[in-house]
Chains A and B, each alone.
Chain A
Amino acid sequence: MRIAVLLFIVGFSIQAQSAIWRVGPALQLKTIHAALEKSSKGDTIIVTSGLYQEGNIRIGKSVVIIGEGESTVDGQNKFEVFTIESNNVTIRNLKITNTGVSSLSDLAAIGAENVRGLYISNNVIDNAFFGIHLANCKTSTVENNILTSRSIDELHTGNGIHLWKCQSITINNNKITKHRDGIYLEFVTDSFITNNVSEDNLRYGLHFMFSHNDEYSGNTFKNNGAGIAVMYSRGVKMFRNHFMENWGSTAFGLLLKEISESRIERNVFYKNTVAIYLEGCSRSHFSLNEFRENGFALKLQANCDDNVFEKNNFIANSFDLGTNGSMTLNTINKNYWDKYSGYDLNGDGLGDVPFHPVSMYAMIVEKMPTSIMLWRSFLVFLLDRTEKVIPVVTPENLRDDVPVMTSYDINS
């Protein structure tokens, strides 16, 4: 038995013994292509400083490719740079630039299809059409990459990190700017999207559809053309993200369409035109989020049901809540509203009278957007006050029965 184990270990270590190939303009191996041809499974290719213009590089073996110094791989504005066709490939520490632009295929700096066990990290991807494009991949990690594109228009700019039909992927600590969508996921499940920064993208900072049971935490989405839009997914978990400065007529801090059974917690929404817009969402839980200085903090369409909003902070928003109907199928409870003017006689920290977060003028603006022009005029002040005394237009049941008197510390 012992011998068998020993033999196994020895056999394994022999198998795992891998060669290291060095590539460089002054070395014997001048191109990555040549190194790939010589290498076998499990080998490491070190790409030393230099400029490599080799067209499309197909990786058909499980190899580790590591950049050393200033090694730049250039796609000459024509090609997809790396195409990964094998499992367990690692690409690290490279600078990849100038991919081609095509309207027929999604040319990427690093593209992969039908593989697993990829590790893509510490790369700088510049001026790419698509940055990292994974299709039908599993159990892979993309981290610490910096992706920048040229932000021309939506047709000629691709997505930063684009995942299609993937499973168990970790996207961690990447910085994506000036792409079309920062992070785009379609049919991606059981994945972790953490600590990324996605800003100044043409369309969405984060965009996903049909992607169930994914977790998004610690990300920052800032100043993207249309904010964040996520659709048709369930089991979405969003924790500790920052949604900031998504301004404009069609921008949303977070647009949720047909999202169900999800948890949105401890996020910060700061200075968005609309912080969260919900349409057709069900059974989701929103707690300990902070809404600060947004135009609308929440726009809750009447086709949402069974959602719970509790323990959130609403501070200095122009409107706290907007809605388009009188049906109330959601629960709003124990939030902090800076506009609350009630009292707390028994001192238990809970307000004694309910708070109605929908102001009359929010209803009017929802119906007639042009009337925003009269915002904060004396007339509007009078209308809001009258409505508070005798509610006619605003939904009577849409209220927080036990608003809290002091704001929550969402970081504790």
Chain B
Amino acid sequence: MMRIVKYVALDILRNRFVVLYTLFLLLVTVTMFSIEGNSDKAILSLLNIILMVVPLVSIIFTTIHFFNSYEFIELLLSQPINRRSIFLSEYLAIATALCASYVVGVGLPITFFNPSIDTVYMIISGLLLTFVFVSLAFCAAVLTRDKAKGIGIALLFWFYFSLIYDGLILYVIYSFNDYPLEKVTLALISLNPVDLARIIILLKLDISALMGYTGAFYKQFFGSGLGIAYSIGMLGLWAGLPLILSLRRFRMKDI
């Protein structure tokens, strides 16, 4: 299994796209810190970009890569290797490559510019987001044999989690505004990995805004060690569940 991981990872790292992605992240991070004097503000601006770009790139790249390496996977399947290890190797290889890009492109420069606890949360949540969206991409990829359709589903996932879901939450809050909604929104937020990642970072940075009337409640929950553990656990679940589901489908699938 490790050998497959090694070959796939080397293949991806040789791919120009990952290098470009790394350079892009590096450029954005360095620019943000150079323009903004206040490092907190730089991190906030960076947060918006990371919440958009990291999921998008992870999900699209993974889907395309999966479809492009179909023949390689078919070749491997003709060997005496079980499907599970082929699938997991693919997953690990892609996730590792993208995480490496993230660490080099964002992790190292922000640690250099702003070595603090916020930075640690920023790196952890970015890495977790990468894992989550690579999983979701695998989900999209095994659902169909058609490449265009696969990419379409992947994009839909991204749209749903970045935009549509928040709109739905806002609608729920608006409709049931007369009721105490703190716990409900908390539960709803847990169902979206992008929101979870955002809140982990935000609670470390923008604390005064979140400390408003209801903010105190969130702060009490997410600010505690338990809350942080919960969010990270939920993100882990978000990476694990789609992976398991797609693995099950891949094992049954007629390639």
Q: Which residues of A contact B (CB under 8 A)?
A: 247-249, 271-274, 293-296, 316, 318-319, 364-365, 367-382
Contacts and interface: CB of A to CB of B under 8 A. Distances in A.
B215 A378 contact: no
Contacts of B206: 318, 375-376
A272 B208 contact: yes
Contacts of A293: 208
B209 A370 contact: no
Contact of A373 (B163, B189, B216): B189
29 contacts: A247-B211, A248-B211, A249-B213, A249-B215, A272-B208, A293-B208, A295-B209, A295-B215, A296-B209, A296-B212, A316-B41, A318-B206, A318-B208, A318-B209, A367-B177, A369-B212, A369-B215, A370-B182, A370-B214, A373-B169, A375-B202, A376-B206, A377-B198, A378-B52, A379-B163, A379-B166, A379-B167, A381-B48, A382-B163
B38 interface: yes
A319 B181 contact: no
Contacts of A318: 206, 208-209
A382 B52 CA distance: 13
Nearest to A294: B208
A273 B170 contact: no
B47 interface: yes
A371 B198 contact: no
B181 to A, nearest CB: 5
Given A376-B202, A376-B206, A378-B51, A371 B170 contact: yes
B185 to A, nearest CB: 5
Contacts of B51: 377-378
A373 B190 CA distance: 11
Contacts of B11: none
A370 B163 contact: no
A272 B212 CA distance: 10
A370 B181 contact: yes
B171 to A, nearest CB: 11
Nearest to B195: A377
Interface size grouping (class) on chain B: 35 or more
Interface string B53-81: 00000000000000000000000000000
A370 B169 CA distance: 10
Nearest to A274: B212
B146 interface: no
A247 B208 contact: yes
A257 to B, nearest CB: 18
A106 B41 CA distance: 49
Contacts of A369: 212-215
B112 interface: no
A372 B182 CA distance: 11
B44 A376 contact: yes
B164 to A, nearest CB: 9
Contact of A249 (B48, B52, B209, B211): B211
Give me the 9 closest cross-chain CB pairs, A-B, nearest first.
Answer: A318-B209, A379-B166, A295-B208, A249-B216, A369-B213, A369-B214, A295-B209, A370-B181, A273-B211
B111 interface: no
A371 B208 contact: no
A372 B163 contact: no
B173 A368 contact: yes
Nearest to B169: A374
A116 B44 CA distance: 56
A273 B211 CA distance: 6
Contact of B212 (A372, A376, A377): A372
A293 B209 CA distance: 9
Nearest to B41: A316
Interface in B192-232: 194-195, 198-199, 202, 206-216, 218
B176 to A, nearest CB: 9
Nearest to A338: B41
A401 B174 CA distance: 32
A274 to B, nearest CB: 8
Nearest to B162: A378
A318 B203 CA distance: 13
B212 A249 contact: yes
A370 B185 contact: yes
B170 A374 contact: yes
A363 to B, nearest CB: 12
Q: Quick one: which of B40, B170, B198 has the most chain A CB within 10 A?
A: B170
A375 B48 contact: no
A295 B206 CA distance: 8
Nearest to A383: B170
A370 B206 CA distance: 16
Given A247-B211, A273-B212, A378-B52, A373 B40 contact: no
Nearest to A377: B166
Nearest to B217: A249
A360 B78 CA distance: 59
